[in-house]
Amino acid sequence: MKYIYPAVFTAEEKGFSINFPDIESCYTCGDDLLDGHDMAEDVLALTLYDYEVEGRDIPAPTEIRDLDLGANEFVTFIACDTIKYRKLKSSKAVKKTLTIPQWLNEMAAAKGLNFSQILQEALTERLNII
């Protein structure tokens, strides 16, 4: 799940405050532009990940030309990937029980196949996750 949203950077006495006008309660800050960009990507991924988990509607991004900016503000796009975020933040293994035909189990066990690895590979392929 890849997203891109406009972020409003506001110059502060030291660094920047950053908010996403389209996303409720999605804001952060950074000591400089690079730090601000990194922090903005992280908070955007976290917030949209929460939206996905909660089943909330993900709002459409506003066009940059439709944003009203103050004298010490500018807009830039921030992109994030919630799949990448999930992999980093939620990699705890969970146990699954599944059923396969006995003959298939015997053949796979004889070849020393790793069922967990094969299931993970099949799921990532089916879900088009790279």
Higher pLDDT, 121 or 80: 80
pTM of the full structure:
0.71
Cβ burial 40-76 (10 Å sphere, 16+ → b, else e): bbbbbbbbbbebeeeeeeeeebeeeeeeeeeeeeeee
Per-residue pLDDT reduced to its tens digit, 79-90: 999 988 777 766
Per-residue model confidence as pLDDT tens digits over 15-33? 999 999 999 999 999 999 9
CATH architecture, domain defined by 2-89: 2-Layer Sandwich (3.30)
Q: Where are the chain's structural domains?
A: 2-89, 93-130
pLDDT bracket for residue 100 (50, 70, 90): confident
CA atoms of 75 and 105, how far apart (whole Å): 56
